[in-house]
């Protein structure tokens, strides 16, 4: 049986008006990031979605309205991400889980709240939940590299580096 263009369109699942607007806003944001505001055309957005320019104009009267709504949409998304971050408080594991894909490297530097210790504790001896931090970061996109930094030590430099590396390996395994 030969499918006509009309029957093919009818067999597609319908998208709600709100969902279509979100798709258009997401596509517009991507086009703006690539081409800038001045270089963005309604046709570029329609092409990115594989729809007609008429469909974009059905939802947004003008390019100016589309760009303004895209800015509001992007700002609202940023505010929601910020609210998640604030809700996570000072818990790095919660922050990492609330922001998947944002961690590409981890700067490992431990700290102790004990008087006189601060950053001079060796990596792994301080207050950070390194196992939890590593697990969270690697569960939401992976980590490209780790940087272990040590500020002062009660051991000679080489021994400090060896101890920190050994602790890193034991915590990261």
The mean pLDDT of 158-173, rounded to a whole number, is 91
Tens digit of each residue's pLDDT (9 = 90 or more) over 87-131: 666 678 887 887 777 778 888 888 888 888 888 899 999 888 999
User: How far is the first Cα of the chain from the last one, in angstroms, to the nearest whole number?
Assistant: 58
Task: Enumerate the H helices of 50-156 as residue ranges.
Answer: 53-59, 63-88, 92-98, 130-139
Confidence check: pLDDT of 65 > 90: yes
Q: Under DSSP, is residue 126 helix (H, G, I), strand (E, B) or coil?
A: coil
Q: What is the pLDDT of residue 89?
A: 65
Confidence check: pLDDT of 2 > 90: no
Residue scoring higher pLDDT (73 or 81): 73
Domains along the sequence of the chain with CATH: 14-87 (1.10.357.10), 92-172 (no CATH)
Strand partners, 148: 108
Phi/psi for 53 (5° steps) reads: -65, -30
The mean pLDDT of 45-54, rounded to a whole number, is 96
Q: How many CB atoms lie within 10 A of CB 100?
A: 12
Q: What is the pLDDT of residue 3?
A: 42
């Amino acid at each position: 049986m030969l499918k006509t263009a009309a029957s093919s369109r009818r067999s597609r699942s319908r998208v709600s008006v709100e969902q279509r607007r979100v798709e258009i806003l997401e596509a517009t944001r991507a086009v703006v990031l690539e081409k800038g505001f001045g270089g963005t055309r309604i046709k570029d957005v329609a092409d990115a979605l594989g729809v007609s320019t008429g469909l974009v104009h059905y939802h947004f009267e003008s390019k100016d309205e589309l760009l303004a709504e895209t800015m509001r949409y992007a700002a609202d998304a940023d505010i929601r991400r910020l609210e998640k971050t604030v809700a996570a408080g000072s818990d790095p594991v919660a922050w990492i889980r609330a922001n998947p894909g944002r961690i590409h490297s981890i700067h490992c530097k431990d700290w102790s709240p004990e008087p006189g210790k601060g950053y001079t504790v060796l990596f792994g001896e301080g207050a950070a939940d390194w196992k939890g931090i590593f697990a969270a970061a690697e569960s939401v996109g992976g980590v490209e590299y780790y940087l272990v930094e040590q500020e002062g030590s009660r051991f000679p430099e080489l021994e400090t580096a060896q101890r920190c590396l050994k602790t890193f390996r034991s915590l990261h395994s």
